[in-house]
Every structure is written in structure tokens, then in C-alpha cells.
Amino acid sequence: MESMPGLTLTDLRETATAPASNAGNADAAARPVRLEPPQNGTILRMVEFLPRAVCARETCLRGVTPAES
């Protein structure tokens, strides 16, 4: 995610309604990333944080050293 260096979001599944429909072959998660699910829907998301040592080396903590975080 561009606004949060060192953070990776992977949307695995999105539903637009409840109960969810499994009809069709379209990938409902194939769209730009957004944080909020659709109204009455859900998002199954995997969030990956880089290890602290990697973040410090790549400055993804915006100036915070590993000892401070």
C-alpha cells in the first residue's frame, strides 16, 4: 500500500451481499484496493507487515529506529 510502506494487503475474497452468492466465475476481489467492504458485504484480507529489521533498513517506519518501535 503506497500510503503505508512496509505493509502489503492481499484481498482473497469479497462479497457484495449477505448471504453471499457463489454464482459465476468473476473474481470479486479483482478491483482497486479499498479498506471498507461494500454495504452488507465482506472482505477476507491478508495483511503482511515486514519484519522490523527489514523496515528499519528500508526506512518504512518513517524515521523510527527498531529500538524506538
State the Cα torsion 34-38-39-41 to the nearest 10°.
-130
User: pLDDT tens track of the chain, all 69 residues?
Assistant: 566 667 788 888 888 888 888 888 888 778 887 888 888 888 899 988 877 666 666 656 555 555 544
The pLDDT value recorded for residue 53 is 63
The overall longest dimension of the chain from CA atoms, in Å, is 50
